[in-house]
Structures are given as C-alpha cells and as structure tokens.
Chains A and B, each alone.
Chain A
Amino acid sequence: MPVKKELLRMDHVSLIQNGDALLDNLNFQMFAGEIMGLVAGHNRGYDQLIQLLCRNLPISFGTVWYDGRTVNSYSHSDGSPNRVCVIEQMSHLVEGLSVVDNLFVLRKGFKKYFINERILREQAEGFFRENSLEVNIRKRVSALTPLERCLTELGKALLIGYKLVIVDNPGNFLSQYELLHFQDMLRTVKKNGVSVLYIGNHHQEVFRIADRTSLFFNRRIIKVFERDEMTDAQISPYITDWNIPGAQTTPDQGEGILHFHNVHTRNLHGLRFVLHRAECLTILDMDNRIAEDVLALLTGTGECLRGQITLEHEPYPPKRAMGYLDAGIAVIPQDCIKSMLFLNRSYMENLTFLLDRKMHQSILPGKVYRSIRNEYRPLVGDFIDESLAANLPPAEQIALAYYRIQLFHPRVLVCIQPLAKGDMYTRLRILALLREILKSGTAVLIITANVSDTLMISDRLLVIENGVCAAAYDKREFDQVDW
C-alpha cells in the first residue's frame, strides 16, 4: 500500500472571537490526491473553518500545516492566503471577460503588456484538451453554463497549481446531470494528485463521491467516516434528532387549487400537474432550469407560449399573476435571506411586512403588532425584539422568512431549493415550518435539484427532465426508488 502524503493538517485548532468559541479543539487532516467529504451537522464555526483553509487568519490555539510547512499557529498568523481554490455558487471569475482572459491575463505573474489573443487561445485550448475540460474558451464568462463555469474555475486552479480545491455544495447550482459530470471531473483531478474537499448539505450526495467524510458538528470534527463506513446506518446515530415535529398533514383530495395544463415556455415543454390544498408537491428538476420559468409564470414576469395555468379554476394570466400576493400565491426563493429580508429593518418590521396587504389597511393598528409580538415570542424568543435583522443568526433569518409567509397565510407557497442552505438543524427547522404552513391548508410546491430531505414532508414527487414530467411518485413509493 503506497504511503499517503499529507497535504493539510489542522491540529487542536481553536478560534475564539469576541469571547465566542467558533472552533473548539478541531482536528482535521487531508491527504494529497483524495476527495474528502464534509457534512455540517451544525453550521456554527463552519464558515470560519472554510476561511481558515483559504487564509491564515489568527487562531486562538493550535497549528495548521499545509503542503509540508507550518502556515498558521496560535503564536503567529500572517494572514497570507493558502493556495486553495473554492468553487461555489458565487463565481470567482470576471463575468465581462473571456475564459482565456480569466485564465491567463488575470493571473498573478502574467507580465506581458501586449496580449496576443491567438497564442493565449491556443495555449488554453491545449490545456483544456489535456485535462479533458469541455469548455468553449471563446465565450465570455457571463455566457457560460454553470457546469462550464465550474470547469473553468477548476481549470484555472490546475493551471495555477493549486493542490486543494474546495467544492461547496455544487448540488445547489448544478443540475443532476451536470453534477455527475462535474463529479467525474473531480475524480480525474484527484488522480493527478490534487485534493478535493467536497462540502455537501446532504450526506447521501457526499458519500457518493468522497473517499472519506468528516462530520462537522458543534465547532469541531466529531467523526471521520472511512469508505466502508459511509452508509446511512453509520451516520444515523449522529443525526438521531432528525424527526420533524408535528404530524403529517393529509392533503385535500378535491379538485385542486393550482393547475398547470400542458404549459410550454422556453424550458417547459408540456408540464402538467395539479396541486391540492394542504398538499406538498416536490418537483425534482433534473436539468436545474425550470425554477425560473415557473416563478416567472406565477409572478407575472413571463407567460405561457402554450397551455394554461389556473388558480382555483380561474385562468391565471400574467395580468393576474402580477398581483400574485393578492391572488394568494407566495414565493420563497433559493437564497431567502438575501432575497426576502430587509436586513437593516427590525425583526417585527420584517415579520409583518406583508400584513398590510393581508388586512387591506395602509396603517396597521398598534394592537395588531402587539398581538403578533405576543403570539410569536414563545416561538422565537427574544429575537423578536431585535432591531436589526442583520444581527440575527442565519438560522433565525431563514426562519423569519418562513414566519412572514406563515403570517400571510397564502393559498399556494412556492419554495425554490428550500434546503440548499443551512446545516442539518436549520433544514430540520425549515421542514418543520413548512409542515406548519401545510397544516394551515396552504398548498406547497417545492422545486429542487436535490431531492433528499424534502421527501420527508412531500406527498408527491414529479421528476422533470427536458421540461416534461419523466416520472411521478406517490408518498408510499418514495422508498422504492433509488435516488
């Protein structure tokens, strides 16, 4: 058996900021040429861990070795960056420039003043061919598909000679097919001696690709799963609380609230489904393309090329959809903190933002606020008095977005990738909140590219491929299918 070469070691690392311990006696090790999975049970300290991998920021205790030398310790931190590449939802490329410019011109050490595009293009083409990276390098970055963007970032990392690539939840922004392709590329890269830290919210996804998987929980790595240990049975003792509070609701078996009748758009090619009251329908979008179209149709920014949508058996044209909240449809987009909250307003202002619309009053009486405050205080505690939503922990911010919708009580709620962000406990809370919303009779439509945990509250699942329904499953069939 060949001796493994150690690439990274974090030894008894603790990080205390403002008296708050964010990392506590953390030990973490990676070898050269391995894919290490990382699953976060609890996100506390998780961001700081990733930051420490990328940059040698001051730590309170412990030592960090990277690529054979001590780069950070409690006694000396120089703040220098490590040669690490992060591939995440946010692009690290310059959108307005071409792939070639991003690869060569925007690179430390590129000294040429006059740029010969032809030579650079030839070099780039050769490099991409050699590494089996299928990207049209003549495109501007803004025109790349998500997969091409990831491959370009990966190519750039290889070109620069990075030895560690951190991949943060690719399942959130790549389609199922793209994800498989990207994972194949990561395996190829691994063979060339580059290590990959594969971070995933869903352990099932991580187990598929990782050689080993670390479970980050409560500010430290509490368990490293070896290849043969990466099973649901082995991880289950660490996530035993994975029970959603509240009983499962029974969907109304009537004629349904929302109907899609053979709907065609740019990415939908004859989608049909019916959503019933108090029902949770999950749409697994294999191409990760339809969410925008469905949202545009339901919020009035797009229209059907063919087919029809009806809400409560009334046609739902773009004109009606423009006032979608008044029609009883609410939307929770993927990054609900960024796209739903007013972070420099108070908790109560955020919570009651849709209330005037609900009550049809421009000026809300103070007693209404007081009553809501009293109603929600037992659920959220003193956070309700927070004068700045930005000060809330991320889990509370996410919960606030859901509470706002719960207070609004829509007829239909559309959630885009609700479990894409957050640790296991945040996801559990989201599922519990969705169950509460379902209990009040709201129909919930979940559109996701990664189905794993959403099935726990779903009543039906539709699998959409190339804009049409490729398969449909009832709740009792969920466990019969290999995801």
Chain B
Amino acid sequence: MKENKQSAVKRLLGTRGMGAVITAFAGLVIIYIAFGIIDRNVFSGQNVMNLLRSMSKYLLIGVGQSYLLITGNIDLSIGSMVGMSAMISATLMTMGISPLIAILIALACCLCCGVVNGILVGKFKLPPFIATLGTMFVSRGVAYMVNNNRNTDAIATGIGKEAGDRFQNFFYYGKTLGIFNTFWIALVLFLVFFFLLSKTRTGRHIYAIGSNVDAAKLSGVNVVNTTIKAYLVSSVCACVVGLILCAQAGMGNMEAGNMYEMYGVAAGVIGGISPLGGTGLLLGTFAGAAVWQTLENGLNMIGAQVGIQRLVIGIIVVFSVLLDVVVRSGNFGKKSN
C-alpha cells in the first residue's frame, strides 16, 4: 500500500510540466510570505478573500489563453471579447431583457468570435497573431457600437434593482461557504477545462497539435475542429470574465478587458505553459494567475507605484519564458557554440 502511494507521488512529480507548476507555487508562497512580512494585512482573511476574487479573472483568462498556447497558437482577441461580453450583456439588461437571455446572447456572440478565430487559424492557416489581431479590433468595435459609443447606464435601470443585485451577487459580490462566488465560478470552470484537457481525447488532441501538427494530422486528428474547440474554450472564458466585470461595475464599460489577452499569456507562461506549444499543465496556470494577483495585490498594499508593478511583472514573465526556452533547448549550463 505504502509502495503504491509512493509510486503515485513519484508519478505525479514525474509528470511533465509538474516541475514548472511546483516552481510557480513555491514562488507564490515566497512572494506571499515576503509581502506578508512587510505588511501584516496581507495575511488578513479579508485580503485573502479579495485576492481569491481578483485572481479569478486572471485565472479564467489564463485558462482560455493556455488552451491556445498549448496548441501553439495565441488569442489576441480575448480581451476585446471580455469587453464585448460586458457591453452586450449590460446593454441588453439596461433594455430590460432578462439577465439569463442577456448572458446567453453575450455567450453566443463570444462563441461566434471563437469559431471565426478557429476557422481562420485552423482552416485557412492564417497566422494566429494576425487572425486574432483582426478579431480583436472587430470585437472591440462591437463593444463600442453596441451602445452607440458610450458606456451603459447601471443595469438596475433596466431589469430593476432586485434582478440587478441578483446578477451582481451571483457573479461578483455574493458569497458561498464564506468565499466570493467569483472564485467558485472560476474554480468550477477551471476544473471542467482541466478535466477536458487532461483526461479526454480532445485534450490529447490539443496537446498533439501543439507538439507536432503533422504527426497529429497523420494520426487522424481533425486539426481544424480541435483548433476551433480551443478557441471556443477561450471565448467561453472571455465571456464569463466579461460578465464578472459587468457585475463588478454594475454597468457595461467599453474598455473592459483591455490588455487582458496579455494577462492571460502571462498567467500561462508563469505557470509553465510553453508558448512554443505542446507542453504545460493547467494547474500551472492556476499558480501563474495566483502569482500575478499576489504580486499586484502585494505591491498595491506596500504602496508601490503602478510603473513598478508593471516592471516587476514584466521581468517575471520574461524570466519564465526564458526558463522554458533554456529548458527546452537543453542549453542550461552549457557554453553556446
């Protein structure tokens, strides 16, 4: 029995990508403790709750972006889709349409963007950077146009205070078992997508495409469909984050989700998802999002300027990618020729 347990632990630690995940979690603990020593309020229960809620957005965006990074692609439109989702749902609700229908319409719009991205990249072989750059502008354009180039009024003006509160509580302000609902939503989606990636055929196909697309094709993997599925995951995540931002503000903001595509990439690569495709664990994205949010939260609490915050986070992202490239090339500690 003991031997079985040992071998299970050994197998878990031997899982490829687990090293990066453990490193990211270790980094998280060190950062958290370091900030906690500087300011004791970092350890307070209230701060931990806020931390979990704030990291949920990065976690979801990170999950969506990680799916694409694993396939060897990227989605630059994910941030704009967040804005589009927030604006569409808020605009509909201010028009008195039921939140559920507003959510479904926002989701449908995001899924359409995901399908378009997937087709452009998977079927028409457009470079993902260019294809999603295009849809990034389109989505942001829709976000602007949906309410005639201005932010929406409070959603409660359309659906009433009670329904508006219910919507806001469900996505942002409410708590279940003492933890904000935002975190539960993110956790449930994370677990669903974690299972999809690690335990199902689709997940294996996603890794296969990122690892060796020719081999994947020859092994009967439908590259177009799998690419579309990855972009759909990303659009679902973007939509939910848009709803969270809408609930947080109680209104639609045209600039919601600005730069989130890069936050997603950062959460992924800090957690060991390789931007070259084919490797990485979604658990790492969890750690990456937590590291990101802890840094932001900690730097805020000790009064660091925004510039310093960006600088530190930027260095960490570059360092993470550098580590991935060095480990992949096997050049660590070797003299270059």
Residues of A within 8 A of B (CB): 79, 299, 323-326, 331, 333, 338-346, 349, 353-354, 356-357, 361-363, 387-388
Contact = CB atoms under 8 A, between A and B. Distances in A.
Given A349-B204, A363-B199, A340 B16 contact: no
B278 interface: yes
A349 B219 CA distance: 13
A344 B278 contact: yes
Contacts of A387: 14-16
Contacts of B215: 338-342
A56 B319 CA distance: 34
Nearest to A388: B16
B85 to A, nearest CB: 29
B148 interface: no
B220 A357 contact: yes
Contacts of A338: 212, 214-215
Nearest to B278: A344
A363 B16 contact: no
Nearest to A356: B201
A331 B278 CA distance: 23
Contacts of A344: 16, 211, 278-279
A346 B16 contact: yes
Contact of A326 (B16, B207, B214, B220): B220
Interface string B198-228: 0111101001100110111011100000000
Could you say which of A79, A326, A342 has the most chain B C-beta atoms within 10 Å of its C-beta?
A: A342
Nearest to A354: B219
A339 B220 CA distance: 12
Given A341-B212, A343-B212, A344-B279, A362 B218 contact: no
A356 B218 contact: no
B176 interface: no
Given A331-B218, A345-B16, 13 more contacts: A324-B220, A339-B212, A339-B215, A341-B212, A342-B211, A344-B278, A344-B279, A345-B208, A345-B211, A356-B204, A362-B202, A363-B201, A387-B14
B337 interface: yes
B280 to A, nearest CB: 10
Contacts of B200: 362-363
B16 A342 contact: no
10 contacts: A324-B220, A331-B218, A338-B212, A339-B218, A342-B212, A345-B16, A349-B204, A353-B204, A363-B201, A387-B16
A387 B279 CA distance: 12
Nearest to A349: B204
A302 to B, nearest CB: 15
Contact of A333 (B202, B218, B337): B218
**Interface of A: prevailing SS:** loop
Nearest to B18: A387
A355 to B, nearest CB: 10
A99 B304 CA distance: 60
Q: 9 tightest CB-CB pairs across the interface, nearest first?
A: A325-B220, A342-B211, A362-B201, A356-B201, A344-B278, A362-B200, A340-B215, A339-B214, A342-B212
A11 to B, nearest CB: 25
B232 to A, nearest CB: 17
Nearest to B279: A344
Interface of B: 14-16, 199-202, 204, 207-208, 211-212, 214-216, 218-220, 278-279, 337
Which of B16, B200, B220, B337 has the most chain A CB atoms inside 10 A of its CB?
Answer: B220
Contacts of B199: 363
A339 B211 CA distance: 11
B276 to A, nearest CB: 9
B222 to A, nearest CB: 9
A381 B125 CA distance: 41
A373 B216 CA distance: 22
B81 to A, nearest CB: 27
Contacts of A326: 220
Contacts of B212: 338-339, 341-343
A354 B202 CA distance: 13
Nearest to B196: A362
A337 to B, nearest CB: 9
A453 to B, nearest CB: 24
B219 A345 contact: no
A325 B214 contact: no
A357 B207 CA distance: 16
A345 B201 contact: no
A481 B278 CA distance: 49
A107 B202 CA distance: 49
Contacts of A299: 218
A341 B219 CA distance: 10
A358 to B, nearest CB: 11
A363 B200 CA distance: 5
Contacts of A354: 219-220
Nearest to B277: A344
Given A79-B337, A344-B279, A387-B14, A325 B219 contact: yes
Contacts of A353: 204, 208, 219
Nearest to A323: B220
Contacts of A323: 220
A342 B202 contact: no
A354 B208 CA distance: 12
A408 to B, nearest CB: 9
A308 B115 CA distance: 36
A340 B219 contact: yes
Contacts of A325: 219-220
Given A323-B220, A339-B214, A357-B220, A345 B337 contact: no
Contacts of A342: 207-208, 211-212, 215-216, 278
Contacts of A357: 220
Nearest to B216: A342
A354 B205 CA distance: 11
Chain A CB within 10 Å, residue with most, of B16, B208, B218, B278: B218
A222 B15 CA distance: 43
Nearest to B276: A344
Contacts of B220: 323-326, 354, 357
A345 B199 CA distance: 15
Interface centre among B16, B201, B204, B215 (most CB of A within 10 A): B215
Nearest to A357: B220
Contacts of B204: 349, 353, 356
A451 B257 CA distance: 62
A341 to B, nearest CB: 6
B208 A343 contact: no
A349 B207 CA distance: 11
Among A325, A326, A340, A353, residue most surrounded by chain B Cβ atoms (within 10 Å): A353
Nearest to A333: B218
Contacts of B14: 387
A353 B221 CA distance: 10
Nearest to B208: A342
Nearest to A301: B217
A343 B220 CA distance: 17
A356 B279 CA distance: 21
B211 A343 contact: yes
